[in-house]
Amino acid sequence: MTNETTPPAKPKRPFFLRRGPMENIATALIAVGFLMLFQPFALVLYTYSLVTLLAGTVMFIIVSKFPE
């Protein structure tokens, strides 16, 4: 009879420290910011495009350093 033991499951990192979902959020922010910057529909979207883009880019740079 073999004594099989399963390795203890690693504790899950909090959502805000997980690379995958955070990278996706950052990517979405960059994409939205980019569209806001070049869209022809509303000046107000253009005005807030830089903030969105900057938030996404900074977030992307930070979260891409998180371990997989």
Sole binder of other proteins in the list 13, 53, 65, 67 (CB under 8 A): 53
Task: Find all residues with CB under 8 Å of 1, minimum gap 6, and list them.
Answer: none
CB of 10 to other proteins, least distance (A): 23
Residue in 26, 25, 28, 47 with CA at minimum distance from that of residue 36: 47
CB of 21 to other proteins, least distance (A): 14
Instruction: Please identify, using beta-carbon distances, which residue of 16 and 39 lies nearer to other proteins.
Output: 39
In sign, the C-alpha dihedral spanning 37, 43, 44, 45 is: negative
Can you give the binding site for other proteins, defined by CB under 8 A?
Answer: 23, 27, 30-31, 33-34, 37-40, 43, 46-50, 53-54, 56-57, 60-61
